[in-house]
Amino acid sequence: MDDIVKQAMAKWPDVPHCYGWLALDARGNWRMRDERAQHLGEPGDKLNNAALVGFINRNYQHDERGCWYFQNGPQRVYLNLEATPYVARTDPAHGLVLHTAVPLPSVEHAFLTETGELILQAGDIVAQLDDRDFAQVLEWLARDGKPLADDALLAWLEDAQAPPLALRIGERSVPVQHIARADVAAHFGFIRLPQPAPDLKA
């Protein structure tokens, strides 16, 4: 967290929290959602200012409820999450990098939803892979030590009882398990659409 943010929090400790105005989409873009976007249920405008995006990245965290927010000075700006709290992308140097520009630590668990969304877990970090990178990562999937063809992957996705696949990341191999898309948030303990808690200022 930036020092200037810590100072603002100490100076103004009781600023009301903000909900619904900021979102993280499934491709790792921060989106500003004005009143019109909120009213119409639209994703909002993508933030492209590098300084602002960097500021949000550095001050992004979660509360005890599993709600993610950006600490904007003394105010918490709670996030709507289209997918998971982090989004991962492939990177030539690091293998996988988070949308916050930080390399993803060693992946411990991997999951595929019925619609082909790849969820990666590294410690407390839960990241969905950017769908634009899935074709590349498909080459990392294997079954019985052999590369997985497209039709074999589709068959595996349709069979929830099929044994885990293997995801090769560098020199490591991580088992890939089934998970229902509807169960992702509850399984990992985060809330996609935070709402004010009764005992917290809104």
In tens, the pLDDT along 113-169 reads 999 999 999 999 999 999 999 999 999 999 988 888 889 999 999 998 899 999 999
pLDDT of residue 190: 98
pLDDT of residue 56: 95
Q: Which residues of the chain have pLDDT under 70?
A: 1-15, 199-202
Q: Would you state the structure tokens that stand for residue 20, as one six-digit string?
A: 């619904």
Give all domains of the chain, ordered by start, each with its CATH number.
Answer: 3-82 (3.10.540.10), 86-184 (no CATH)
Give dist(CA 11, CA 58) in Å, integer.
Answer: 20
pLDDT of residue 36: 87
pLDDT of residue 197: 74
pLDDT of residue 10: 52
pLDDT of residue 202: 46
pLDDT of residue 125: 97
Task: Give ∠ CA 157-158-163 in degrees, rounded to 5.
Answer: 60
Q: Would you state the structure tokens that stand for residue 171, as one six-digit string?
A: 């020199």
- Closest-CA residue to 99 (of 82, 113, 116, 111): 82
